[in-house]
Amino acid sequence: MSTTSSYNPADPTDLVVEAPTAGAFGTLAAVERARAAQPGWVAAGAAARSAALGRAAAAVEEHAEELVALAEREVGKPTAEARGEVARTVAILRYYAQAPYAPAGAVHEPAAGEGLLLTRRRPHGVAGLITPWNFPLAIPVWKAAPALAMGNTVVLKPAPEATACALRLAELLALPQDVFTVLPGGAEEGAALVSAADVVSFTGSTATGASVVRASAERGVPVQAEMGGVNAAVVLPEADIEQAAAHLAYAIAGYAGQKCTATSRVIAVGAAYEPLREALVKALAAVADSSPVISAAARERLAGAIGSAVDGGATLLTGGRIPQRDGWFIEPALLEGVPAGHPLLAEEFFGPLAVLLPAADLDEAIALANSSRHSLSASVHTRDLDVALAAADRLAAGMVRINAPSSGVDFHLPFGGSGAASYGAREQGQAALDFYTSSRTISLLPAGSGR
């Protein structure tokens, strides 16, 4: 029997879970069971689905501290961030518990003649959800809750590194048999799920997301993919530099930079450069929440990128050292003078690492920020409303945050990136309810009418 295992990144000798995997055949069988359960889940009605999601919220809330400890242990999430994630998971479930009662369509006048024209949103069937490890509770739930609310059943394939969190979540959600199934595994199970589900939602790295989108499009099933970000922060000279540095330190190094919305490029405009560099070096050196990165390979990739940038002429302003302790820790790092064409300027490294770049003016800063096609979230730090409005308009990013860290998401608003960071519909809020349904147009005419 094949299994998948996850280990504590702060203590790699600590095996968190070893779970059997389904393989491709087992995955297809799970999808068939979910498909068989779906008509009953719809027929149970809006009140039953709403109540089930409400009970799930209460169960997660009741076990909040247990889930916080599990997320800390399995994916290295700092306590405060894990508490925030669990609270958000509860809020998402409560929010979508109301969704089954929302209007499911509209009534229109026919262009001519009698009768009613209706639109009605119907579930797709089985939602195949593929998730990363960095938000092991909130991301599975922000996909599953709208899918379930609208009458789909769900098969979730979590990241191997977050298997225990997903299995515990399934126990706590306690939904009817085959309505919500967690299938531990990796690429084999993920690809099999994509080959069989009726709607696919993916969050993870860019390369895997592209293959999931291609496979789903070939089958003609709706697909959305949220992928990696190379996110920029623009700091203007009149900004509150100390506050900007604090926000940036959080966005660069919070949860060791392992958020798709983390900042990895800091663009300082004109006279902001010198004071920001000084303040940011201090703020990063003081980051108390230093969590490990997820694996030895992730840390090697970060250390390698820092080394090659320095070899190419960059200056390491702070951090980048590997402390003498167990676990996959690396100090939050800031570089300047990174040579043009270096991967640090173009690729996601998913760690506590950023590059500082100068720009002569706002136009150059926006051009630099928009030079990456992987932009999920951008931040702008300014006291000038005109600059804020111009930047919000011209930055190519799914989210623009003014005087706030680039990382940070409100669970009820559309979420997604621009360019290669995102494919398909937005997640969260009303956008998610639309994604997990398709609209049907119904013509209702009196019997014996002429049309």
- Site of interaction with ligand NAD (CB under 6 A): 130-135, 157-160, 186-187, 190-191, 194, 203-205, 208, 211-212, 226-229, 260, 348, 350, 376, 417
**Residue number with CB closer to ligand NAD (30 or 272):** 30
Residue 22 near residue 3 (C-beta atoms within 8 A): no
Question: What type of residue is 210?
Answer: A
Least distance from ligand NAD to the Cβ atom of residue 372, Å: 13
The CB-nearest residue to ligand NAD is 190
CA distance 129 to 226: 12
**Residue number with CB closer to ligand NAD (38 or 131):** 131
Residue 205 near residue 40 (C-beta atoms within 8 A): no
**Residue number with CB closer to ligand NAD (228 or 320):** 228
Q: Based on C-alpha coordinates, what's the Rg of the chain?
A: 23
Alpha helices in 315-445 (DSSP H): 362-369, 385-394, 429-435
CA distance 287 to 257: 12
CA distances from 339 to 9, 52, 141, 258, 309 (A): 32, 54, 41, 24, 7
CA distances from 87 to 57, 62, 137 (A): 10, 11, 10
CA distances from 185 to 15, 23, 182, 195, 223 (A): 16, 8, 10, 15, 21
The residue annotated as part of the active site, out of 260, 300, 348, 364, is 260
Question: In angstroms, how far is CA 306 from the centroid of its own chain?
Answer: 26
Least distance from ligand NAD to the Cβ atom of residue 93, Å: 19
Residue 217 near residue 205 (C-beta atoms within 8 A): no
Residues 150, 155, 160, 164, Cα dihedral to 10°: 80
Residue 377 tokens read as 């979230």
Residue 190 near residue 223 (C-beta atoms within 8 A): no
165 annotated active-site: no
CA distance 185 to 200: 17
Identify the three-state secondary structure at position 316.
strand
Least distance from ligand NAD to the Cβ atom of residue 192, Å: 8
Least distance from ligand NAD to the Cβ atom of residue 367, Å: 23
Alpha helices in 286-352 (DSSP H): 296-311
Least distance from ligand NAD to the Cβ atom of residue 117, Å: 37
Backbone angles phi, psi at 109, to 5 degrees: -75, 135
**Residue number with CB closer to ligand NAD (115 or 186):** 186
Question: What type of residue is 130?
Answer: I
Least distance from ligand NAD to the Cβ atom of residue 416, Å: 7
Least distance from ligand NAD to the Cβ atom of residue 24, Å: 11
Residues with active-site annotation: 226, 260
